[in-house]
Amino acid sequence: MQKTQEQIILGIIPARWGSKRVPHKNIKLFKGKPLIYYTINAAHKSKCLDELFVSTDSEEIAKISIRYGAKVINRPSQYAQDHSPSIDVVRHALLYEKADIVVLLQPTSPLRTAEDIDAAINLFLKEKPESLISVSKNGPNGAIYISTPENLKKYNSFYMTRMCGYFMPRKRSLDIDLISDFQNVQKHTNHRRGRR
């Protein structure tokens, strides 16, 4: 099922400056480009997203995001703490941007593709759950979250009563949270190139 022309599907990338485990993780270089580049690039290639915004509290991240073609929402510091939930970031963004469907794309999933984004959105449109969360063999992988503003307001979470899972293979589900994760993803992508 395809979206209607009237529907606005909004992509939001949350990218704060602070990170205790990996300083400035969201713009740390990975394969020669800032980590956030890969999510912005995949989102731009998506055929389903109508708008794309990076929500950040950092001028540096904002500049880099704009350089790669994303629009920016300036995030207040109270929504950029270690304990700040992603749902608060989304609800803050929705104060400024209109949307019928919201797609949250975390920059720590650099191997997620535009095809993943579009397949997840189309599954959401077809199945009509309250929310969709991307999963791998081990459970939620943190790459894609989808819902509507109405349901996000109702549940204050992407975890809802009627949920749908979009399955992603392990090789595209790698999540970067530690320095070792950067090394593992780099090793994995190098291995894939070596098999061609």
Q: Is residue 186 domain-resident?
A: yes
Q: Is residue 3 domain-resident?
A: no
Per-residue confidence (pLDDT) for residue 195, from 0 to 100: 42
Q: How far apart are CA 61 and CA 157, in angstroms?
A: 25
CA angle 167, 169, 172 (to 5 degrees): 110
- Mean pLDDT, each 10-residue run in order, the chain (196 residues): 76 83 79 94 97 94 96 81 79 93 96 97 97 96 97 96 97 77 59 44
Q: Is residue 137 domain-resident?
A: yes
What tokens does 114 get? 């535009």
Q: Is residue 83 domain-resident?
A: yes
Q: Is residue 116 domain-resident?
A: yes
Return all residues near 150 (Cβ < 8 A) that are at least 6 apart: none
Q: Is residue 1 domain-resident?
A: no
CATH code of the domain containing 108: 3.90.550.10
Per-residue confidence (pLDDT) for residue 186, from 0 to 100: 61
Q: How far apart are CA 187 and CA 19, in angstroms?
A: 23
Where would I find the H helices in 72-141? Answer: 86-93, 114-127
Q: What is the DSSP secondary structure assignment for residue 178, as one 8-state letter? A: S
Q: Is residue 4 domain-resident?
A: no
Per-residue confidence (pLDDT) for residue 182, from 0 to 100: 59
* Residue range of the domain that includes 89: 9-194
Q: How far apart are CA 139 and CA 150, in angstroms?
A: 25
Question: How many independent structural domains does the chain possess?
Answer: 1
What tokens does 165 get? 């899972």
Q: Is residue 2 domain-resident?
A: no
- Identify the burial level of 113 via C-beta atoms within 10 angstroms of its C-beta, where 0-12 means exposed, 13-18 middle and 19 or more buried: middle
Rg of the chain over all Cα atoms, to the nearest angstrom = 16
Structure pTM?
Answer: 0.87
Q: What is the DSSP secondary structure assignment for residue 165, as one 8-state letter? A: E
> Three-class SS of residue 157?
coil
Per-residue confidence (pLDDT) for residue 125, from 0 to 100: 97
pLDDT digits (tens, 9 = 90+) for 129-171: 999 999 999 999 999 999 999 999 999 999 999 999 999 999 8
